[in-house]
Amino acid sequence: MSANRSTGGGVKTWRQQTRMVRGGLARSGFEETAEAIYMTSGYVYQSAEEAEAAFKGEVTRFVYSRYANPTVAMFEERLRLLEGAETCRGTASGMAAVFAALMCQLKAGDRVVSSRALFGSCHYIIAEILPRYGIETQLIDGRDLSAWEAALAGGARVIFLETPSNPTLEIIDLAAVCELAHKAGASVVVDNVFASPVLQQPLQLGADIVVYSATKHIDGQGRTMGGAVLGTQQFHDDHLNQFLRHTGPSMSPFNAWTLVKGLETLEMRMAQHCANAREIAEFLESQSGIKRVLYPGLDSHPQTALARRQMQDFGSVVSFEIEGDKARAFRFLNALRLIDISNNLGDAKSLITHPATTTHQRLKPEERAELGIGDDLMRLSVGLEDPADLKEDLSQAFNA
């Protein structure tokens, strides 16, 4: 109900960083400085008549925290301002956001076209869950515009894509793919987690809906799960709102508080993540024993020109292939002393994962091969430590 609540004050003229510190703030009668945590499931009515009016939708007010909550609404409004969307809704996790954004607008008989280089659970939804409900799905190489064109010739209700992709950092031409999708009458859902709202604005490039795992950079400190769906008022009112209300993937007010504070520093943290990641990527490229470094900001990345066109900077994740087999990859991982082995990303702490045996373990070997996820591939989420310490740690592990 209050997902799109206006914040008054000077919000319309505030610049982005001011909005990230103050946007959406709704103070209670106690005039607290920081955003308040409203840990309440329900709300009370002054009269039976008021309750009736609330349920009829005649008055706009908080009714039940599965529908809306004041702390969650502050997070939603702040992220909405950053993205420049008409509406934003918080969810319990990134996957809840992805699933709701797709399922709320799909029905049996619909067709979905998706890029195949996806986060593991997104791949599961597209390849396994949707087809069970009579939704036809097709996975394609998202870098290839002719593959989109061919797949969209059969029509589609929704297209789904992730750019840069996890874990191989493939880049998809957002403006071109949105144009092809719209010509085919499809709505475009973009998973913008790797870029974050600071580095890439899919709505401005033509996308209809953007989804986030707020667990990643928006929290950025490894503390909480969260997600968000951003789009038009019409998409929200016609599809998303009732789906969220009645299926209940709601964000906890406490988590929303953590995330609304995360937005205050997101831009600064992203700038440092990108600077550190670039330094590590260049360092890795100079090392022997490394076959290939994947980072969209490197001249060696096959799609760096496209990345430079549609992104402001290139993110926190660097992937690389080392010489040798799985045993050697594991020896390298186990020799790291500072960088933690973890499947998470976008944390202040540097985290490394071996996608073939963790996040993308579920895929068939031929699917992994198609995506370039070999036993030699590492995904490093570069944190906010001093990069000199990270380089020392990587060097000693390579030598081990």
Ligand X SMILES: *Cc1c(COP(=O)(O)O)cnc(C)c1O
Which residues contribute to the site for ligand X (CB under 6 A)?
93-95, 98, 119, 121-122, 162, 166, 191, 193-194, 213, 215-216, 225, 227
The least distance separating ligand X from the CB of residue 340, rounded to whole angstroms, comes to: 16
The least distance separating ligand X from the CB of residue 101, rounded to whole angstroms, comes to: 11
The least distance separating ligand X from the CB of residue 367, rounded to whole angstroms, comes to: 17
- Alpha-carbon dihedral sign for residues 12, 14, 15, 17: negative
Pairing of strands 351-353, 377-381: antiparallel
C-beta nearest to ligand X: residue: 94
Nearer to ligand X, 72 or 193 (CB): 193
The least distance separating ligand X from the CB of residue 207, rounded to whole angstroms, comes to: 15
Cis peptide before 249 (omega within 30 of 0): no
Report the C-alpha gap between 2 and 387 in whole angstroms: 42
**Residues belonging to the chain:** 400
Report the C-alpha gap between 126 and 116 in whole angstroms: 9
Nearer to ligand X, 25 or 98 (CB): 98
Nearer to ligand X, 272 or 344 (CB): 344
Cα radius of gyration (the chain): 22
Report the C-alpha gap between 136 and 303 in whole angstroms: 30
Nearer to ligand X, 318 or 397 (CB): 318
Nearer to ligand X, 54 or 96 (CB): 96
Cis peptide before 164 (omega within 30 of 0): yes
Nearer to ligand X, 93 or 276 (CB): 93
Nearer to ligand X, 25 or 315 (CB): 315
The least distance separating ligand X from the CB of residue 277, rounded to whole angstroms, comes to: 15
Are 147 and 124 contacting, i.e. CB atoms less than 8 angstroms apart? no
Nearer to ligand X, 37 or 118 (CB): 118
Phi-psi label, residue 292: left if phi above 0, alpha if psi -120 to 50, beta otherwise: beta
Are 364 and 333 contacting, i.e. CB atoms less than 8 angstroms apart? no
Q: Side chain identity at 268, as an amino acid letter?
A: M
The least distance separating ligand X from the CB of residue 226, rounded to whole angstroms, comes to: 7
Q: Side chain identity at 282, as an amino acid letter?
A: E
Are 306 and 171 contacting, i.e. CB atoms less than 8 angstroms apart? yes
Query: 3-class DSSP state for residue 151?
Result: helix
| Nearest of 388, 317, 394 to residue 359 by alpha carbon | 317
The least distance separating ligand X from the CB of residue 214, rounded to whole angstroms, comes to: 7
The least distance separating ligand X from the CB of residue 328, rounded to whole angstroms, comes to: 26
